[in-house]
Structure 1
Amino acid sequence: MTVKELSDRFDVQVVAGEKGLNRPIDGGYCGDLLSDVMANAPQRCIWLTVQGHQNVVAIAVLKEMAAIVITGGHKPDPETVEKAGVEGIPILAWEGSAYDLAGRMYAAGVRNSDG
């Protein structure tokens, strides 16, 4: 599944980084503790978080993530949107909980290689 397909399928709003929408998603990661995400998130994953500051883009670039989904109705800071556009990292927004979206993604076949 690509980021665009996920966005369309689950009605997840694209907020930034449109040029990266064709990236393949090879798994997922849920977390808000940035050091944990840096240590454990797999490459090409889609990251579900409530964090909306610029550091999420830096981590997504470092980990070569497919995209970031900001969940729970939280919104990214304007600087974060700008940085994501420059870096080509899609940021999506989901009004519901990370738990709900993760379950839907898992049921649709988005799984990590270890699970």
Structure 2
Amino acid sequence: MRLREIVERLHLQVLAGEKALDREVTGGYCSDLISDFMANGTPGCLWLTLQTHMNVVAVALLTGAAGVVFTGGRGIPPEVCRKAEAEGLPLLQTPHSTFEMAGRLYQLLNEK
């Protein structure tokens, strides 16, 4: 499923990387540990996290993530959004919890 459709159907706010929303999303991964995502995140996955610092952008790019969803409605530093925009990485935001978004994303990606 294309990231653009996920953004629309889950009502996600696009913070950066709008030009890259045509990426294919192959799955999702939830983790707030950078090292865990580095070890287990896969190319094309959508990373759901509470972390909002610059390292998230670097690790998402390193792993080839389709994008990052910041959950819980936390404030995102402007420099993080600027870096992601410059790198073409979609950053998305939702006020909903990681638990809720993971369930909704799972259902969406597994529709028949």
TM-score, length-scaled by structure 2: 0.94
The number of residues matched between the two structures is 110
Following the alignment from structure 1 to structure 2, what is the Cα–Cα distance between the partners of residues 30 and 50?
A: 9
| Residue 67 (str. 1) matches residue 67 (str. 2) | yes
Offset of 1:66 from its aligned partner? 0.3
Give the structure with the higher percent helix.
2
Match of 1:44 in 2: 44
Offset of 1:75 from its aligned partner? 2.6
Spell out, residue by residue over 1:28-68, the C-alpha distance to the aligned partner (whole angstroms, 9 max, x if none).
10001101110111111000001111111100110011000
Give structure 1 regions of 4+ aligned residues with deviation exceeding 2 angstroms. Answer: none
Letter of the aligned partner of 2:16 in structure 1?
A: A
Unaligned runs of 5+ in 1: 111-115
Unaligned runs of 5+ in 2: none
Match of 2:105 in 1: 105
Contact 1:51 1:76 in 2 (8 A): no
Match of 2:79 in 1: 79
Letter of the aligned partner of 1:21 in structure 2?
A: L
User: 3-state DSSP class of the match of 1:99?
Assistant: helix
TM-score, length-scaled by structure 1: 0.92
Following the alignment from structure 2 to structure 1, what is the Cα–Cα distance between the partners of residues 75 and 16?
A: 11
